[in-house]
Amino acid sequence: MNLILILTFIMIIISNTFMMISFFISKKSFLDREKCSPFECGFDPKSLARIPFSLHFFLITVIFLIFDVEIVLILPMIPMFLMINFISWFKINFFFIIILLVGLYHEWNQNMLNWVN
């Protein structure tokens, strides 16, 4: 138990030492106007807050995030091929891919994938 406490204490000291060293040798400017603003996205917060917003761009972003999550769900299916029965693996993957294709067809049918109207 004492060994764990000593190692934890040593790790805390080493990490704090490196954080202090990086803080002192960094060339960070605290007077940068963009970094001092509440939004670091390129918008000027002192101007009119009601700027035009592209809803279509937002929907494309949401679709991109949905397909990113789908890729994360598909990747673990590859190692599962060796761990479970082939018929079960095929049914699960077939069902998942059908759901993705139905969603893609619905987005295509609603013209969500067309960038220019």
Which residues does 40 contact at the CB level (< 8 Å), separation at least 6?
A: 34
29-76, pLDDT tens digit by residue?
566 665 665 555 555 556 666 666 677 777 778 888 888 888 888 888
Which residues, including other chains, have CB under 8 Å from residue 13's CB and lie 6 or more apart?
none
Tens digit of each residue's pLDDT (9 = 90 or more) over 87-117: 988 998 899 889 888 988 888 888 877 766 5
Q: What pTM was computed for the model?
A: 0.46
Tokens of 35: 């970094």
**What secondary structure letter does DSSP report for 75?**
T
Residue 78 pLDDT grade (very low, low, confident, very high; cuts 50, 70, 90): confident
Domain locations in the chain as residue ranges: 54-117
